[in-house]
Structure 1
Amino acid sequence: MSPQIDPLSRHLDISRNLLEQTLSGMEQLLTLGIDHTQDFVSRSSQQLKGTLSDSLVVTEAAQLPDAMQQGIHVAINLARDTTLAATDYQIDALRLLHNQASEVQKTLAAAITEQFAIVDQNLAGTPRTGTATANARKARA
């Protein structure tokens, strides 16, 4: 490649890699959210079905305290499960974001290291120019 197009090509490659990682990460995060939501809805609906299938119909006043107590237990269990589901999702999402950030950091570190190597190579005077320029430098010396 020509020396003028080479840096542009490298920058485009870096941008493409970062874009691919970003899109992949967003897809994974959305999938994680959908999976956790589906699991939560499934668990909650099973709990509610189980609760509603039980005989909560109060036919006598003496059954009212038991029905209220059972309703309170159901509400507590549902609140607990909701909190656990939200916490599980947050932990999994943070773990996923951490892994994605680590991958982006590796990509950027490799790109920066490559750029420093090119700059060092240019500063060291390694010939990237034609033989005419090299001969002119020798003639001046």
Structure 2
Amino acid sequence: MTYDLISISITLIVAYLGSYILYRKDYIKKSTHIRLWNILILITFLISAGAGLVLLGLAESGVALPISQELLYWHVQISIAMFWIAIFHIHSYWMSSPGKKSGESQDPHKKSPGKFKSSLKSGISPGKSTDNSNEKEGRGLK
């Protein structure tokens, strides 16, 4: 029995690069790109885990059915796909912070990361201001 490692890998890599390029060129939202791959990782996990549990049950009970080999084949095929989708999943969450692409300028009204870090060091919570006159400014309200 041979498995289709190369064809599954190339197909998924091309599909991921396609949706990633669509996201980077603003044809689709980042949330759509991530949701698509989250749904695919869920589907591949459920199929692979289900087939694995059925195979485990058959092996533990000593039952050898003709379908066992075909089920093993599809379990491995889907697991190959799940491996690549898991890599894409990691990449999706390793990318830039939510809502900000690299190269975008930061909103001047938002607090910079440096202010957040300094407020943590001083014991002041990031949502609270020591100056009550501009209390709503940090939330984008004026």
When the two structures are superposed, what TM-score results if normalisation uses the length of structure 1?
0.34
Structure having the larger proportion of residues in helix: 1
Q: TM-score, normalised by structure 2?
A: 0.33
Q: Which has the larger radius of gyration?
A: 1
Instruction: Return the structure number with greater relative CO, CA threshold 8 A, min gap 6.
Output: 1
